[in-house]
Structure 1
Amino acid sequence: MNLGSIARDGAKRFPEREAVRLGTRVLSYADLDEQTARFAALLRERGMRPGDRVGVMLPNVVEFPLAYYAILRAGGIVVPMNVLLKRREIGFYLRDSGAEVLLAWHGFEAEARAGAEDARAELIPVEPADLADSLAGVPPMADVAEVGDDDTAVILYTSGTTGKPKGAELTHRSVLRNSEVVAMTATDVREGDVILGALPLFHIFGQTVGMNASLAAGATLVLLPKFDPEATLAAIEANRMTHFYGVPTMFGALLHYPGRERYDTSTLRICVTGGASMPVEVLHGFERAFSCEVLEGYGLSETSPVVTTNHAGRERRAGSVGTPIDGVEVRVVDDGDQPLPAGEVGEIVVRGHNVMKGYWRRPEATARAIRGGWFHTGDLGRTDQDGYFYIVDRKKELIIRGGYNVYPREVEEVLYEHPQIREAAVIGIPDEQWGEEIGAAVVLHEGERLEAKEVSSYVKERIAAYKYPRIVWFVDELPKGPTGKILKREIEWPDSAARLAEPSRQDLATRDRTADLRGER
């Protein structure tokens, strides 16, 4: 089935129901169907052929779902792009994907036009009034293009933390099945529910779990162009939201927003967090404050995205990302790809309908990522005896201090328990003596004061001595991506950040043991 048929099928089932809302602007399911059919016809008139890639550089506005489903209905492939990209990045995405057309929001036209020119692609500025006039003069496309289940629907570029971004090829089946399974078995989205679309739709979390799953289930998607705690609380009250989806920093911002009690959020039933590990203290605090169920899940761009989740109405385990969704297998394996028993830490690998076809035009990268039929995530995790999964950390973020593995998330969980700390990120800092030293960048609640030694001592009292941060510094805010996810690769430690403790006896013993193992003594 063509992923773009979501709009057509919704119109058949509940034509008059609200599909998308932004402020006072509302599209019913019948409106969504008609306008995407006209948009698809317009693209065909402009020369788009089945299989063509089309860049979409739009914020959370009504025009995003219109463009998205129109491209798919016409048989094209959507290439979602962050609206904050600059000329060089835009040019790379267009050239790499081979997209010859870019649909870009008029507010970002300057950078988009420059990038399109560099890639010799056509720019189509998207402005609501102009687009409405153009669509009015085009007869709607009568059909939905026939595609194979395994044909590419979306090329979603990864963040590129290890080099240039790679385009994950997501198929019509992988995205549609992921959307339907999540809505039916995980988030309990029902006809008539109201979902807040605060996550960027160009990101796979907002795209699949927010937009596609909501519209496939007959819910109303209320768009918020930019996340802001006060605007979000006001939107929940005004629209009587039943579902809120976000990354952990969004939950923290809502929980700690001064005066949140003024807003009526009693209609919230289900909240879903993903994109990064949710500190247990934030999860429990949010549930107490908002009297709703918070479900933590796990996924990646390459898996459409959902792999595991805690399910609505079933047992949830704080700190766990739940169990695999229907039709998906998950394992924890060692470096030889052999399955590990419950409790042991290894790499998480995935097999199922949600896994990408591969990286666009990168067969070698695809072969490295998908081995023996299993997608290797690069994430470290473990399971318990009941099959619940726990993410320990990114494989590449593992800190090895004096020969001992330190998982940043474990240290961050302790930091988040401190009543004066609002946010924290733990990273490895190169160190001549230990290989890596543990550093912590800390954001305090407004008006609070702490000394670095106090933070270090607080953690030292609660976990093994080799794990606590010896280097602590305070920042006003942590660098974040478009979804609000903390970007550890952009964290810099100041030259003034000094070691807070001399090596302890245990430290020296660890160093000596490590030297013995390496044959250095």
Structure 2
Amino acid sequence: MLKQRLAEVVKKYPDKTAIAYDQLRISYQQFYNYITHLSNHLSTAGIGQGDCIALILPNSPEFAIAFYATAKLNAIALPINPLLKEDELKYYIIDSNTSAIVTNSDGAEISRKIISKIDRKIELIVLDETDILTKELDNSTITESIPTFIGDVLYQYSSGSTGRPKRVCKTQSNLYHEVKNFTESTNITSADNILCVVPLYHAHGLGNCLLAAIQNGATLVILEQVSHQGKIIEVPFVFRRARVLELIEKENITILPAVPYILNTLAETPNDTQIDISILKLCFSAGNFLSKDIFDKFLQRFGIPVRQLYGCTEAGAIAINLDENIKNTYTSVGLPLKNIDIKIIDDAEKEVPTGSIGEIIVKSQALTEGYCNKPELNRQVFKDDWFFTGDLGKKDEIGRIYITGRKQIFIDTGGYKVDPLEIENILISHDRVKEAVVVGIKGSYAGEVIKAVIVPQNRDICDAKDILAYCQEKLADFKIPKIIEFRDEIPKSPLGKILRKNLIDNLSETIRS
């Protein structure tokens, strides 16, 4: 369904810019030709329907081309954060039974290391070491018949209570309906320009940036990566702020999907900076709760209200607040998107009255059928076509949704959502660590700082710097604790439940990395 819709868009807007990246402009016809060239290359390498292709790529035109080339083959794309370390990447590659890795020169070395340690054939395609995106391409119009395919096209990983990410499979039908629901609710058209400043490997970036743009014939403007000595590097968003504001003006950006961390940084633009971003018709936040402070600061600085979007890996975008008088309802994630049903239920799975808090459950054609190889968990959270999100919320009298809490604990750090249990599992694998609990504490800016509380096997021989070095080997930089605290014991309730709130304050012996 995705590839069929893409062909329709290409036929309708062949010369229109599909992707803008720094000085590069790729028309829809060129985009389709690159996709065809890469899909042919993958096919020649023996990759076909049902095979998994890992995309270890930063935000770039190459990511978009590789994703759609995968869809064209009826294969399954696995977008992975390129900042992850070897052990993290290896877990995803093995768990998904990856047949090929598509990456760039930055990811080539680590990909080769991983492949050498896996006892089966995995093709490696390094895009900037081939002619795939530089070859002169035929700009002939589409003449091939594009059959409808509704099968599997995407693997994504959702963190949860196990501490190990769970694999979610989405079909082309799921993604088609996700875009359809979002488009019908927000009125995205081919006249829109969408700025991508969030990761494309994440559900927010893939669904609300890449798919929302391409499936509607809009233009996707991707914030270019920062390079140092020929290598792409990650820099704090504050150093990209001026460039983002410049792009909004220069590229006539009408839609800005973001997260609270990014919006807070933009809102703190010095008052003496002359900038006009009034062309934005829709600026929305996802990934974490948008505080009143950030909402007010952004509105005051730019005169534009930020709208909250609610979504998840399993179901994509679910609800968005499009209220006209949003100052009174900014805390709400709004009404369900078109074609999506939401209920608030109690522990007996009965719908609760208006205003009462319960668990949010969702039904939609964009919803995955379940987690791969997790039958017991699927029976718990996928029931009668409903997904039990684990989020707590309520509805008001007109059906607006308010998120009030979570059954699961995540840490929002620098725009990334981190599962503390994943870090805890790494920490307790250290031979000098007896117990470990990871929490998020309020940072100086928006978001949280990761703090690890450790009970050592022997305090005299457990060194905080050694713990940090151990984490640096096994975790992406954004997951590494910034604060390490040693304690003799972890505070627990009489029933043995860890009292995480007691660990957020009252630092004892700590080290800040």
TM-score normalised to structure 2 length: 0.75
Where do 1:391-470 residues align within 5 Å? 391-397=403-409, 441-444=441-444
**Which residue of the partner structure matches residue 212 of structure 1?**
211
SS at the partner of 1:131? coil
**Which residue of the partner structure matches residue 168 of structure 2?**
168
AA matched with 2:334: G
**Which residue of the partner structure matches residue 50 of structure 1?**
49
**Which residue of the partner structure matches residue 304 of structure 2?**
292
CA-CA distance at 1:175 after TM superposition: 1.0
The one of 291, 294, 319 equivalent to 1:308 is 319
Q: 1:493 to 1:212 in 2, by over 3 A?
A: same
**Which residue of the partner structure matches residue 126 of structure 2?**
125
**Equivalent pair of 2:34/2:132 in contact (CA under 8 Å):** no
The 10-residue stretch of structure 1 (208-217 or 367-376) with the greater mean CA deviation from structure 2 = 367-376
**Which residue of the partner structure matches residue 99 of structure 1?**
98
AA matched with 2:188: V
**Equivalent pair of 2:308/2:334 in contact (CA under 8 Å):** yes
Where do 1:275-286 residues align within 5 Å? 275-286=287-298
**Equivalent pair of 1:254/1:260 in contact (CA under 8 Å):** no
- Once the two structures are superposed, residues 252-273 of structure 1 have per-residue CA deviations (whole angstroms, 9 ceiling, x without a partner) of 0110133573233232221011
The one of 221, 226, 236 equivalent to 2:248 is 236
CA-CA distance at 1:341 after TM superposition: 1.0
**Equivalent pair of 2:241/2:265 in contact (CA under 8 Å):** yes
Identical columns (%)? 26
SS at the partner of 2:48? coil
Distance 2:138 2:55 in 1: 22
**Equivalent pair of 1:74/1:145 in contact (CA under 8 Å):** no
Distance 1:128 1:311 in 2: 45
AA matched with 1:175: L
The answer to whether residue 360 in structure 2 is matched with residue 352 in structure 1 is no
SS at the partner of 1:308? strand
Q: 1:314 to 1:125 in 2, by over 3 A?
A: farther
Q: 1:163 to 1:134 in 2, by over 3 A?
A: farther
CA-CA distance at 1:126 after TM superposition: 1.8
- The structure with higher relative contact order (CA 8 Å, sep 6+) is 2
**Which residue of the partner structure matches residue 156 of structure 2?**
156
The 10-residue stretch of structure 1 (92-101 or 359-368) with the greater mean CA deviation from structure 2 = 359-368
Number of equivalences: 422
CA-CA distance at 1:61 after TM superposition: 0.7
**Equivalent pair of 2:29/2:139 in contact (CA under 8 Å):** no
CA-CA distance at 1:128 after TM superposition: 7.4
CA-CA distance at 1:332 after TM superposition: 1.1
CA-CA distance at 1:237 after TM superposition: 2.2
**Equivalent pair of 1:41/1:139 in contact (CA under 8 Å):** no
The 10-residue stretch of structure 1 (113-122 or 190-199) with the greater mean CA deviation from structure 2 = 113-122
**Equivalent pair of 2:22/2:224 in contact (CA under 8 Å):** no
SS at the partner of 1:156? strand
Where do 1:308-327 residues align within 5 Å? 308-311=319-322, 317-327=329-339
**Which residue of the partner structure matches residue 502 of structure 1?**
none
**Equivalent pair of 1:342/1:383 in contact (CA under 8 Å):** yes
**Equivalent pair of 2:356/2:394 in contact (CA under 8 Å):** yes
Distance 1:52 1:87 in 2: 22
SS at the partner of 1:244? strand
Distance 1:60 1:126 in 2: 14
AA matched with 1:170: K
**Which residue of the partner structure matches residue 344 of structure 2?**
332
Q: 1:17 to 1:175 in 2, by over 3 A?
A: same
Q: 1:442 to 1:74 in 2, by over 3 A?
A: closer
The 10-residue stretch of structure 1 (351-360 or 204-213) with the greater mean CA deviation from structure 2 = 351-360
CA-CA distance at 1:164 after TM superposition: 1.5
**Which residue of the partner structure matches residue 39 of structure 1?**
38
Q: CA RMSD in A?
A: 3.4
The one of 240, 243, 262 equivalent to 1:250 is 262
Distance 2:160 2:483 in 1: 19
Distance 1:141 1:10 in 2: 11
Q: 1:183 to 1:345 in 2, by over 3 A?
A: same
Distance 2:360 2:318 in 1: 10
**Which residue of the partner structure matches residue 177 of structure 1?**
177
**Which residue of the partner structure matches residue 499 of structure 1?**
none
- Unpaired runs of at least 5, structure 2: 226-236, 413-417, 421-438, 447-477, 488-513
CA-CA distance at 1:277 after TM superposition: 0.7
Q: 1:160 to 1:491 in 2, by over 3 A?
A: farther
CA-CA distance at 1:444 after TM superposition: 3.8
Q: 1:6 to 1:128 in 2, by over 3 A?
A: farther
Where do 1:4-43 residues align within 5 Å? 4-43=3-42
**Which residue of the partner structure matches residue 111 of structure 2?**
112
Q: 1:45 to 1:331 in 2, by over 3 A?
A: same
CA-CA distance at 1:137 after TM superposition: 9.8
The answer to whether residue 341 in structure 2 is matched with residue 341 in structure 1 is no
**Equivalent pair of 1:73/1:144 in contact (CA under 8 Å):** no
Q: 1:328 to 1:490 in 2, by over 3 A?
A: farther
